[in-house]
């Protein structure tokens, strides 16, 4: 079957695509930035269309000739008027799919109580489902709650809240009932939706076999992680906004993601019907119990085999344009800090240290300064340093590395990172390993395009620290390469990353 997947750079889309390819489907994906898929293992097996779902012409190009469309995008992490954008994108896909003769739409929505008041994000997801169901194209809407899997936002919240706090003062939503579902079971239903009766057009609740209070989810994680169970006190004074700040402080999940999740957890999110069983049978061996899903996720984390992560998602408001070539800088204000060091180690050893930068290993210079910058970023709603990295030793284009994103990677030679921190301008950090007869040479440059007066003031405010931070970074990277080991500097207390478990 010819299948279009939207949201292919997201947590579930990035796992669904290779499974569709493996099943023999012809897969096309539409993404805003095609370069982000350059190093994804399955990229060569799919057709990539670059475009935005808000652009009707791009959507029409993407759906042309397709038999089925997966709609796996939502604006939970978006700023601004995300509801209007979500409805516009859904209408574009619905109308273009109907005009192109698409025979099936599959949408992953959110599990929610029927009737009553919903959070903004749940309300928006329900509205998107309604638009697709009314498109004239037979649509299956799968409504899932908390998804448990390595790298999922919900799992990260549960894991870090449980590990960090021996005693948990928590909002009232810890007493809400939740029906979690393992990511493998969500993928089972998504794949199975292509085989349902041709005229089927309705929503289905999906969930795992366990119905638990949110507090039980945290203590279930504690048992599987070998931790003591945590006493939990529900406090009525913690509003969703205040709880979001708390989650932002003690977990890697930034508040732009935490607040909408918490708002949704104020309601009991459980299945109200099980009609899906008559359409898509449960997976062989049955649905995955919650604690087994936790065990599987922990094993993935320990093995460094996280397939996709919430970190893969773009940061709203962060610059997405690549670093312009040097000649294009003429006539614009740009600040550059360049460093170069001879290195007695072979170029392969130098590259190994470069590719291991960030996460638990830190940034090779003045850890406290990097930590403070990360705390400031978190305080202003950014991702901070605690986002960590997908894999301890290997990078690919599109990977998040703390508050940077891998923009370019020429393995063995060049790594370029684009800043996704809160900063008045656009910033990049580039590191190169060059082979020489006597060993290798390390080249490093930080490039900053300021935005207005605030950007210029920012650069000159931090300029006195550059001699310590950037020079120290160059010195330490070459020293570690010569010593034949990547550094593992101690991180200041309170800084964590996704490698902690």
Q: Which residue, 265, 281, 312, sits at the end of a domain?
A: 312
Asked if residue 255 and residue 120 are part of one domain, the reply reads: yes
The structure tokens 């000739």 sit at: 65
Beta bridge partners of 169: 233
Nearest to 143 by CA among 198, 85, 190: 190
pLDDT value, residue 234: 67
SS in 3 state form for 319-387?
Answer: CCCCCCCHHHHCCCCCEEEEEEEEECCCHHHHHHHHHCCCHHHCCCCCHHHHHHHHHHHHHCCCCCHHH
Per-residue pLDDT, 498? 31
Tell me the C-alpha to C-alpha distance, in Å, between residue 147 and each of 128, 377, 447.
20, 27, 39
What average pLDDT score do residues 477-499 get?
57
Q: Are residues 286 and 404 in the same domain?
A: no
Q: How many residues does the chain have?
A: 501
Region 9-21: mean pLDDT is 93
Q: What is the pLDDT of residues 434-444, one digit of tens each?
A: 999 989 999 99
Count CA atoms within 13 Å of residue 499 on its CB side: 19
The CATH number of the domain holding residue 446 is 3.30.530.20
- Taking all residues of the chain, what is their mean pLDDT, rounded to a whole number? 85
pLDDT in tens, 162-192: 887 766 666 666 778 889 999 999 999 999 9
Determine, yes or no, domain membership for 300.
yes
State whether 297 and 380 are in the same domain.
no
User: Is residue 161 pLDDT above 90, yes or no?
Assistant: no
Structural domain of residue 179, as residue ranges?
A: 2-312
In a domain, 317, yes or no: no
Q: Inform me whether the pLDDT recorded for 329 exceeds 70.
A: yes
Kindly report, residue by residue over 182-237, the tens digit of the pLDDT. Answer: 999 999 999 999 999 999 999 999 999 999 988 888 889 999 988 888 777 766 65
| Model pLDDT, residue 48 | 95
- Regarding whether 304 and 369 lie in a shared domain, the answer is no
Q: What is the pLDDT of residue 242?
A: 67
Shared-domain flag, residues 276 and 380: no
Tokens of 338: 């360049």
- pLDDT single digits (tens) 271-324: 999 999 999 999 999 999 999 999 999 888 777 677 887 677 666 555 566 777
Per-residue pLDDT, 231: 77
With respect to residue 422, please indicate whether it lies within any of the assigned structural domains. yes
Residue 341 shares a structural domain with residue 290: no
Greater confidence, 492 or 64? 64
pLDDT computed for residue 435 by the predictor: 93
Q: What is the mean pLDDT of residues 254-270?
A: 75
CB crowding 235-257: b at 16 or more within 10 Å, else e: eeebebeebbbbbbebbbbbbbb
Spatial CA neighbour of 218 closest among 258, 178, 256: 178
pLDDT band at 14 (very low <50, low <70, confident <90, very high): very high
Whether residues 366 and 293 share a domain: the answer is no
Q: Shortest CA distance to 186 belongs to which of 259, 110, 118, 129? A: 110
Place of tokens 């800084």: 495
Is the pLDDT at 479 greater than 70? The verdict is yes
Most confident of 142-151, 305-314, 364-373: 142-151
Query: Is residue 420, in this structure, part of any structural domain at all?
Result: yes
Domain identity same for 230 and 333: no
Distances (CA, A) of 492 to 361, 369, 385, 496, 499: 12, 10, 11, 9, 16
Q: What is the pTM of this model?
A: 0.76
On whether residue 405 sits in a domain, the answer given is yes
Domain's final residue, options 312, 341, 368 = 312
Name the residue with higher pLDDT: 387 or 133: 133
> CA-CA-CA-CA torsion for 53, 57, 58, 60, nearest 10 degrees?
90
Looking at the structure, tell me whether residues 298 and 379 fall in a common domain: no
Q: Give the Cα separation of 400 and 385 in Å (integer).
A: 10
Q: Does residue 88 sit in helix, strand or coil?
A: helix
User: Each residue of 58-112: pLDDT tens digit?
Assistant: 999 999 999 999 999 986 545 556 788 899 999 999 999 999 999 999 999 988 8
Distance of CA 377 to the CA centre of its chain: 17
Contacts of 142 (CB under 8 A, 6+ apart): 106, 107, 108, 109, 186, 189, 190, 193, 203, 204, 206, 276
Yes or no: say if 148 and 238 are a contact pair by the CB < 8 Å rule.
no
| 129: pLDDT strictly greater than 80 | yes
Average pLDDT of span 252-269: 73
Half-sphere exposure of 242 (CA within 13 A, CB side): 10
- What pLDDT, on a 0 to 100 scale, did the predictor assign at position 430? 94
Burial of 320 (0-12, 13-18, 19+ CB in 10 A): middle
pLDDT digits (tens, 9 = 90+) for 233-259: 766 655 666 666 667 667 777 767 777
- The domain boundary residue, chosen from 278, 312, 346: 312
Query: If you write DSSP's letter for every residue of 262-299 in order, what string do you get?
Result: HHHTTS-B--S--GGGGTSPPPTT-PPPHHHHHHHHHH
In a domain, 419, yes or no: yes
Rounded Cα gap, residues 170 and 215, in angstroms: 9
Helix (H) or strand (E) holding 417: strand 414-419
Residue 63 shares a structural domain with residue 212 = yes
Same-domain check for residues 279 and 425: no
Percent of the chain exceeding pLDDT 70 equals 86
Say yes or no: 277 and 410 in one domain.
no
Q: How much is the pLDDT for 497?
A: 31
Domain contains 224: yes
Instruction: Assign residue 24 the CATH number of its domain.
Output: 3.40.50.720
pLDDT at position 452: 86
pLDDT at 170: 64
97 to 51, 196, 412: CA distances (angstroms): 16, 18, 43
What percent of the chain has pLDDT above 90?
47
Q: Which residues contact 336 (CB under 8 A, 6 or more apart)?
A: 445, 446, 447, 448
The torsion region of residue 304 among left (phi > 0), alpha (psi -120 to 50) and beta comes to left
| Residue 491 in domain | no
Number of structural domains, the chain?
2
- pLDDT for 495 equals 30
* Whether 430 contacts 418, CB under 8 Å: no
User: Does position 41 have pLDDT exceeding 90, yes or no?
Assistant: no
- What is the reported pLDDT for 71? 97
Helix, strand or coil, per DSSP, at residue 1: coil
């Amino acid at each position: 079957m010819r299948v279009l997947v939207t949201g292919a750079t997201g947590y579930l889309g990035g796992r669904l695509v290779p499974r569709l390819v493996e099943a023999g489907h012809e897969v096309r994906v539409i993404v805003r930035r095609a370069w982000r898929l350059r190093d994804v293992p399955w990229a060569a097996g799919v057709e990539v269309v670059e475009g935005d779902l808000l652009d009707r012409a791009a959507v029409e190009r993407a759906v042309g000739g397709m038999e089925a469309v997966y709609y796996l995008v939502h604006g939970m992490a978006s700023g601004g008027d995300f509801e209007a954008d979500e409805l516009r994108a859904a209408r574009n896909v619905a109308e273009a799919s109907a005009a192109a003769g698409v025979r099936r739409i599959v949408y992953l929505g959110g599990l929610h109580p029927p009737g009553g008041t919903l959070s903004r994000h749940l309300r928006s997801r329900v509205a998107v489902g309604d638009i697709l169901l009314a498109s004239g194209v037979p649509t299956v809407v799968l409504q899932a709650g908390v998804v448990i899997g390595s790298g999922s936002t919900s799992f990260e919240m549960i894991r870090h809240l449980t590990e960090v706090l021996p005693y948990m003062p928590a909002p009232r939503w810890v007493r809400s009932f939740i029906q979690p579902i393992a990511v493998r079971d969500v993928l089972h239903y998504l794949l199975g939706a292509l085989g349902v009766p041709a005229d089927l057009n309705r929503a289905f609740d999906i969930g795992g076999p366990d119905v638990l209070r949110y507090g039980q989810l945290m203590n279930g994680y504690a048992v599987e992680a070998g931790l003591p169970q945590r006493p939990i006190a529900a406090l009525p004074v913690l509003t969703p906004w205040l709880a979001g700040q708390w989650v932002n402080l003690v977990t890697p999940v930034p508040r732009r993601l935490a607040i909408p999740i918490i708002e949704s957890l104020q309601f009991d999110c459980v299945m109200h019907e099980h009609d899906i069983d008559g359409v898509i049978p449960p997976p062989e061996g049955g649905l995955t119990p919650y604690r087994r899903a936790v065990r599987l996720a922990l094993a993935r984390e320990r093995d460094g085999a996280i397939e996709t992560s919430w970190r893969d998602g773009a940061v709203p408001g962060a610059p997405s344009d690549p670093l312009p070539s040097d000649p294009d800088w003429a006539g614009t204000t740009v600040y550059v800090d360049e460093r170069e060091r001879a290195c007695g180690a072979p170029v392969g050893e130098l590259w190994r240290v470069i590719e291991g930068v960030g996460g638990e290993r830190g940034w090779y210079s003045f850890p406290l300064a990097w930590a403070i910058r990360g705390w400031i970023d978190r305080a202003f709603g950014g991702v901070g340093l605690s986002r960590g990295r997908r894999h301890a030793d290997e990078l690919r284009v599109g990977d998040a590395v703390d508050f940077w994103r891998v923009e370019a990677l020429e393995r063995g030679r060049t790594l370029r990172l684009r800043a996704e921190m809160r900063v008045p301008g656009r910033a990049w950090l580039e590191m190169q390993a060059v082979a020489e007869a006597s060993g290798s040479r390390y080249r490093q440059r930080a490039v900053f395009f300021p935005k207005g007066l605030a950007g210029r003031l920012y650069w000159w405010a931090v300029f006195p620290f550059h001699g310590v931070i950037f020079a120290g970074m160059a010195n330490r990277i070459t020293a570690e390469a010569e010593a034949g080991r990547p550094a593992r500097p101690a991180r200041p207390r309170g800084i964590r990353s996704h490698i902690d478990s």
